[in-house]
Amino acid sequence: MIKTENVVKLFHSHGTTVRAVDGVSAEVAEGEVVVVIGPSGSGKSTFLRCINGLEIFDEGHIIIDGVDLADKKTNINKVRAEVGMVFQQFNLFPHKTVAENLTLAQCRVRKRSKEEAEKKALMLLEKVGIPEKAQEYPSRLSGGQQQRVAIARALAMDPKVMLFDEPTSALDPEMVGEVLDVMKQLAREGMTMVVVTHEMGFAREMADRVIFMDEGKVVEVGTPEHFFTNPQEERAKLFLKQVL
Amino acid sequence: MKGSQNTWPWKLLLVAILLVIAAGTWGAVSKIDYKWRWYRIPQYFLYFAEDAQKIPFDGTVVSISTDQKSTTVNLLSETGEKVAVSIATDSLKVSEGEELFEDDTVGFDREWRLGPLTKGLWTTLWLSAISSVFALFLGLVTGLARVSQNVTMRGLAMMYVEVIRGTPLLVQIFIAYFFLGTVFDLSRNVCGIGALALFAGAYTAEIVRAGIQAIPKGQMEAARSLGMTVPQTMMDIILPQAFKKILPPLSGQFISLIKDSSLVSVIAITDLTKSGREIITSTFATFEVWLVVAAMYLLVTSLLSQIVFYMERRLAVSD
């Protein structure tokens, strides 16, 4: 489903160049849940953002469902419509109601009729557990509810892959659970997911594979049992000691 | 010091200060022996015109017919030409069969007409309205160009904004009229509107740019991640939110535009200000006219403020 080869992303600031993502090669199979963990500044979010073209990477290839993002002829909008993204800060559209948040891209990008889009929106709000908020504006919702709406908004496009960029990091602790529950449900339904998170519990329970990144590089890849109980690399051991 | 403290002593002070200012002005004006003639002002808003209706040839009155409001006099010339003249009934000066010479008065036609102040206000209003529309369009395009990735667009937009903001409007109006107007053979109205629109457009562009940049980056990213194109995102996500943010400065800009439009009077467009000047040349009621003109501008601008205030409240529902 997703294949990355030697992806490099450089950031230039004040005359110095930082290799934020430094030659990351990874593969995500269909239906697989891959959790990317690592200390902050390890490039995991940047890597995730490269996958749907929010960051333009400098070297390497990212191939999604057979389409190479590095290819100049690739229509990035088409790719993005197939790749759902959930942000740390939710990024709901504050001037639109919850229902409109879910229908807008369906109508504009998928060219669905308003009725069809609304039906889909309501169905998805049901799924994330807040159908009663359809006509509210996002500012009236709690953080957890907003993030669930954001997940529903991404799902409304029928994506083949879902990317989660620290979806629970901006939430109050008591709201983390409701968002993780929705994500777990999605994983069980067989959605292909790449999740950048600090929720080790989620990684342990749901991940098919864990990718540990540090300083822009993939340090260790493995199943959660293996990674959490018997990490091979020193940096991974150190990281786990700090977070667990 | 909670909010509900007694404020009426301060309100009294406010009234007292205003009274002192008014009394001071009054005292100063009475010293210079100015004769106020307020009664001459209303006619410049609306007046009752009386036009003499005259027979255009030598001839006779054939018939006179009267309905409730007016009287129609049918006239016949010696050469057989027929003309009907409509006049006010009580101003009839001829009788049936009477013979008249050319330019004899048949009677008077009376009607209410708009005076120069009203007409001038109307000119100011439509001039400002049309300029505002163009300015908004120009400002939007330039503002978008200012935040675009394209270096050429960004450069052009920046130059336009810098040139306009760095020169006085009065000079721009002169250039628009005496230079561009002459070279491209443009009417004074086109020059006036063009100068105002270009001027306000540059400021609007900066407001638009600031408004767009005030929208969090995540909004663009979220929309793009859903597969929406940049124009779609601009139209559906960024600009509606930016518009809400920039409504107060934008309305300030258009209020400024109404006031700045008074400068087009220098290229002989008969707006409110020019009408005021013309009335003064015939009445010498300098004080009254300028005070009235100022009050009329104030009325228009405060009305606009009220409308914007109402719009802001309507747009605040999603906050």
What secondary structure, in 3-state letters, does chain A show? Answer: CEEEEEEEEEEEECCEEEEEEEEEEEEECCCCEEEEECCCCCCHHHHHHHHCCCCCCCEEEEEECCEECCCCCCCHHHHHHHEEEECCCCCCCCCCCHHHHHHHHHHHCCCCCHHHHHHHHHHHHHHCCCHHHCCCCHHHCCHHHHHHHHHHHHHCCCCCEEEEECCCCCCCHHHHHHHHHHHHHHHHCCCEEEEECCCHHHHHHHCCEEEEEECCEEEEEECHHHHHHCCCCHHHHHHHHHHC
Residue B68 predicted with pLDDT over 80: no
Q: For the segment A139-181, what is each residue's pLDDT rounded down to a tens digit?
A: 999 999 999 999 999 999 999 999 999 999 999 999 999 999 9
CA B214 – CA B178 distance, rounded (Å)? 40
Q: Which candidate in A77, A82, A111, A136 is best for mutational testing of the B interface (most B CBs within 10 A)?
A: A77
User: Cβ separation of B241 and A81 shorter than 8 Å?
Assistant: no
Residue B198 predicted with pLDDT over 70: yes
The confidence score (pLDDT) of residue A59 equals 94
Kindly report the nearest CA distance between residue A237 and chain B, in angstroms.
34
- Give contacts of B238 with chain A, Cβ < 8 Å: none
A126 versus B92: the higher-pLDDT residue is: A126
The confidence score (pLDDT) of residue B85 equals 85
User: Cβ separation of B216 and A154 shorter than 8 Å?
Assistant: no
Residue A41 predicted with pLDDT over 70: yes
Q: Which candidate in B226, B239, B244 is best for mutational testing of the A interface (most A CBs within 10 A)?
A: B226
Q: What's the maximum distance between 2 C-alpha atoms anywhere in chain B?
A: 94
User: Cβ separation of B222 and A157 shorter than 8 Å?
Assistant: no
Q: Give the one of B222, B226, B319 whose C-beta lies nearest to A139's C-beta.
A: B319
- Give contacts of A89 with chain B, Cβ < 8 Å: 216, 218
Helix (H, G, I), strand (E, B) or coil at B267: helix
pTM, two decimal places: 0.81
Q: In which band, very low, low, confident or very high, does the pLDDT at B223 lie, cut at 50, 70 and 90? A: very high
Distance of CA A163 to the CA centre of its chain: 2
Q: For the segment B199-219, what is each residue's pLDDT rounded down to a tens digit?
A: 999 999 999 999 999 999 999
Q: What's the maximum distance between 2 C-alpha atoms anywhere in chain A?
A: 55
Q: Which candidate in B225, B235, B238 is best for mutational testing of the A interface (most A CBs within 10 A)?
A: B225
Q: Average of pLDDT values for A132-144?
A: 95
Q: In which band, very low, low, confident or very high, does the pLDDT at A22 lie, cut at 50, 70 and 90? A: very high
CB pairs under 8 A between A and B: 73
User: Cβ separation of B222 and A83 shorter than 8 Å?
Assistant: no
Q: Compute, in degrees rounded to 10, the torsion defined by CA atoms B160, B164, B166, B168.
A: 170
Interface contact B235, partner A, CB < 8 A: no
The confidence score (pLDDT) of residue B2 equals 55
User: Cβ separation of A85 and B237 shorter than 8 Å?
Assistant: no
Using CB atoms within 10 A of its CB, is residue A186 exposed (0-12), middle (13-18) or buried (19+)?
Answer: buried
Q: In which band, very low, low, confident or very high, does the pLDDT at B80 lie, cut at 50, 70 and 90? A: confident
